[in-house]
Amino acid sequence: MAKSSVLGYPRIGADREWKKALEAFWAGKLEESEFHNQLQKIRLDHLRKQQEKGIDIIPVNDFSYYDHILDTATMFGIIPKRFSYEGGVVPLSVYYGIARGTKDATASEMTKWFNTNYHYIVPELDGAAPTITENRPLIAYREAKEKLGIEGRPVIVGPLTFLKLSKGYDVSETDVWLKRLLPLYVQILQELAFEGVQWVQIDEPILVTKLSEDDRKRLKIIYDTFAAKAPNLNIMLQTYFESVENYSDIVQLPVKGIGLDFVHGLSGNISSIKTYGFPEDKVLGAGVIDGRGIWKASLREKLVLLKELAGVVTTDKLIVQTSCSLLHVPVTVKNEAKLLPELKNALAFADEKLDEIALLTKAVSSGESTITDELEKSESVLQSLKQSDERNRNDVQKAVATISAQHPVRSLPFAERHTAQQKKWQLPLFPTTTIGSFPQSVEVRKARQSWRKGEWNNEQYADYIRKQIDLWIKLQEEIGLDVLVHGEFERTDMVEFFGEKLAGFAFTQYGWVQSYGSRCVKPPIIFGDVAFEEAMTVEETKYAQTKTARPVKGMLTGPITIMNWSFVREDITREQIAYQLAYALRQEVEALEQAGIGMIQVDEPAVREGLPLKEEDQAEYLAWAVKAFRMTTCTVHDTTQIHTHMCYCEFHDMIDSIEAMDADVISIETSRSHGELIHSFELNTYKLGIGLGVYDIHSPRVPQVEEMTSMIERALRVLDPNLFWINPDCGLKTRGVEETVDSLRNMVKATQIAREKHTLTV
């Protein structure tokens, strides 16, 4: 009999109960004991749901108080010295300090989890003395067994993945660190085995990336050690997000099971199995249900795949499971009452994917005839969506085909544009600006809710937004910023706002997913052809410009970010979706310019996270991503200054592509990893306008002038002062008013110091 499993379940709850508990605790509204009680209830409810849905193998220790990589680091006592950790179980004050920063200590770096929109906290190994603070997988296993009678499968991030995702050590020290960590992993596993745990899931997603020969040797050492030290424990070596590299070596490792992604890594993993086979003594975890997408599976197609796999392994050694953790999808479609029926019927969130797993497992074990009705229904709903008017707009398809066949390029090269723009704008050395958004207070959110509920009419809401713009234009002038923004008070989310105004999008009411910490986002669904309908940002930006003589930037989200931060349709390529978005956004850029807005920022913070994990696929993706950006921005006048914003993204890997975007100014989120980025510029020359974020907006602390001055000076060692801008790391929507104003005042003071120092030398 085949078994069913998932690799992890969303933490946040159907109504974001987890998020609300975290934020109440941080705000001092929830005592620590009650906080633990609330999170335990959420955790047990999630386990119970999987149990009731008929999932055979349920993961435990996939739940987190913030982030699973942070959990692993703190379990091993890997705490940066600046947090004054004194040993023992890591207090929540230290745990959350690492994630969010404190008054006296900056937070640890946060970056993307492979090519997803989930962010993890980067472990800092420098100066750490690893030790086991508590056996988290064991605690989670005991809780599930004692409270619910569940024989759970503990989940732990594998040593190689953990090391490869950490910082604060030289590559030459890798083996030294492995020797420090390996005994701790062994102790964790031995304690699990002693407890009677049958299976443990060790996640090694790093195995889908290209590894060095040394890393492949380390992998063998790791799992040989585990097999020798915990011989009675069954290890499921789990991979996801792509097909594994070095398949023939990995299947020979001394583990009892191997989990493979047969959704995003389908072609590569199937090819490897056909070429090398699969060991008879191992269990195959077949990730056939997409853990990252939101569309119902074609159950018939999945059964064809599972039959093919059943020809390689016997049914009793086959586990039908998700391709990765369900962390990346919303909880349930059940509560979505406002979606078009043909769309809602075609969706499957986490709970619906549990049903799909259970159905497929039943069919594999007992025959297709046991799920005949479900097979027919899954095909019917997918076909209905395929034939919908929204997916068959000939006007959009023809226009995009014509434009995408052209080579998008500005009429003058950057150097000539820069001269014309400087003549027009007369900006000082080191112009200051922000990324776009300002704090959205409780009052701002309440006003939006009143408008959405119909309690306010359009004019009442527009008047409220204009008053917010008035306030913040005045504040920006008082602070001394050179290039202003209108503040984006009318926007809920930088993707959702545009999706609501473009054709081809749909929005859920409860489709939240975790982005980082308690930050949850509700990704739009691109389910049809994308089309521009009317100007989206002109009214507020034009109004803001009437309130100041200083330039006000128009603010848009770029095509690649909208795509990567949305759930997208699967019937056309992502490249085609990007070009549809670019064509629609180009019309908005042109509308802003026609309204007299001469600086326009098209943000692309998510370019990196869409980068394929396979090196051989990356150049093609970057080529069409750059093309989509240029399609959006290439038609403006030479004196119109195009800005963009990106998050830190291993700059040296993408510098050619970023330059090829040909934005006049790029701002980059860097404050948590400033030194690494500066090093990138030591190795690579960047010849366009650039602003490196000089303070971290994800932390509530107000940075001192000296901190920002130091960052500015480090950047100016390798960047052209005449092309250098000064700005915060990212948008300021989530920050408080007082801290925002104080931080920006300090930023302007740091800029004035830099100007005084460098004016005579430029």
Question: CA-CA distance, 669 to 647, in Å (whole number)?
Answer: 5
**Chain position carrying tokens 């001269």:** 419
Question: CA-CA distance, 138 to 57, in Å (whole number)?
Answer: 16
To the question of whether residue 112 is assigned a binding role by annotation, the answer is yes
To the question of whether residue 634 is assigned a binding role by annotation, the answer is no
Question: CA-CA distance, 663 to 659, in Å (whole number)?
Answer: 8
To the question of whether residue 596 is assigned a binding role by annotation, the answer is no
Q: How many CA atoms lie within 13 A of 254 on its CB side?
A: 14
To the question of whether residue 324 is assigned a binding role by annotation, the answer is no
To the question of whether residue 448 is assigned a binding role by annotation, the answer is no
> Please, are residues 561 and 435 in contact by the beta-carbon 8 Å criterion?
no
DSSP classification of residue 736 = -
To the question of whether residue 235 is assigned a binding role by annotation, the answer is no
To the question of whether residue 18 is assigned a binding role by annotation, the answer is yes
Could you tell me the two tokens for 494?
A: 């930088």
Residue 568 is inside which H or E element, if any?
A: strand 567-568
To the question of whether residue 520 is assigned a binding role by annotation, the answer is yes
Residue 328 appears among annotated catalytic residues: no
Question: Could you please report the per-residue DSSP string of 699-716?
Answer: S-SPPPHHHHHHHHHHHH
To the question of whether residue 609 is assigned a binding role by annotation, the answer is yes
To the question of whether residue 17 is assigned a binding role by annotation, the answer is yes
To the question of whether residue 486 is assigned a binding role by annotation, the answer is no
To the question of whether residue 669 is assigned a binding role by annotation, the answer is yes
> Please, are residues 64 and 71 in contact by the beta-carbon 8 Å criterion?
yes
Question: Could you please report the per-residue DSSP string of 210-240?
Answer: ---HHHHHHHHHHHHHHHHHSTTSEEEEE--
Tell me the three state secondary structure of residue 100.
helix
Phi, psi of 11, rounded to the nearest 5 degrees? -85, -25
Question: CA-CA distance, 684 to 664, in Å (whole number)?
Answer: 18
Closest to 162 in 3D by CA, of 98, 260, 73, 258: 73
The single-letter code of the amino acid at 335 is: N
To the question of whether residue 645 is assigned a binding role by annotation, the answer is yes
Catalytic pick among 486, 643, 698, 758: 698
Tell me the three state secondary structure of residue 131.
coil
Question: CA-CA distance, 432 to 423, in Å (whole number)?
Answer: 17
Closest to 154 in 3D by CA, of 122, 179, 123, 191: 191
To the question of whether residue 603 is assigned a binding role by annotation, the answer is yes
Residues belonging to the chain: 762
Closest to 168 in 3D by CA, of 290, 277, 81, 298: 81
To the question of whether residue 16 is assigned a binding role by annotation, the answer is yes
Please give the sequence-ordered ranges of beta strands (E in DSSP) within 254-317, or none if there are none. 257-261, 283-289
**Chain position carrying tokens 């690799």:** 7
- Alpha helix locations (H) across 368-436? 372-386, 394-404, 414-425
Residues making up the binding site for L-methionine: 435-437, 488, 603
Residues making up the binding site for L-homocysteine: 435-437, 488, 603
Residues making up the binding site: 16-19, 112, 435-437, 488, 519-520, 565, 603, 609, 645, 647, 669, 730
For the annotated catalytic residues, the residue numbers are 698
Residues making up the binding site for 5-methyltetrahydropteroyltri-L-glutamate: 16-19, 112, 519-520, 565, 609
Residues making up the binding site for Zn(2+): 645, 647, 669, 730
